[in-house]
């Protein structure tokens, strides 16, 4: 029984070390060119958590609702803004999520600005 627990612990540790790099696709000091390569993995309809795994946490986030109150909201949008510094200037990526029923956010569009 003890050897089974040890084997499970080793398997869990190895599994976690294999998965962890996949969760951080964007290097902390990424250039705009590297960011564009990683962001090529964005897909319309992609869930919010998959975007976080691909690009990391955004620099800024905004949320808007259509309707006069939260209970009346017919559609909500959330925008994540990422910024990378490069030698020729900053590059900004805006990813927009839509949801009729939060928290089911999915990518609706994205846009690059900068060099």
Q: Which domains does the chain have, with CATH numbers?
A: 32-67+74-113 (3.30.1450.10)
Residue 2: per-residue pLDDT = 44
Question: Are residues 105 and 48 in contact, defined by beta-carbon separation less than 8 angstroms?
Answer: yes
- pLDDT values of the chain reduced to their tens digit, one per residue, 115 residues: 444 344 433 344 443 333 333 445 777 778 888 999 999 999 999 999 999 999 999 999 998 877 665 555 567 889 999 999 888 788 999 999 998 776 789 999 999 987 6
Note if the pTM is more than 0.85.
no
What's the rounded Cα separation, in Å, for the pair 66 and 63?
A: 10
**pLDDT for res 78:** 93
Check if the beta carbon of residue 81 is closer than 8 Å to that of residue 17.
no
94 Cβ partners below 8 Å, 6+ apart? 79, 80, 81, 82, 110, 111, 113
């Amino acid at each position: 029984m003890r050897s089974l627990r040890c084997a499970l612990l080793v398997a869990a540790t190895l599994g976690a070390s294999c998965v962890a790099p996949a969760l951080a696709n964007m290097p902390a000091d990424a250039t705009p060119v590297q960011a564009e390569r990683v962001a090529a993995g964005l897909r319309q309809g992609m869930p919010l958590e998959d975007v976080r795994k691909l690009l990391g946490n955004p620099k800024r986030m905004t949320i808007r609702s259509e309707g006069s109150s939260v209970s009346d909201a017919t559609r909500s949008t959330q925008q994540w803004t990422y910024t990378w510094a490069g030698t020729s200037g900053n590059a900004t990526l805006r990813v927009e999520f839509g949801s009729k029923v939060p928290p089911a956010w999915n990518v609706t569009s994205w846009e690059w600005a900068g060099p």
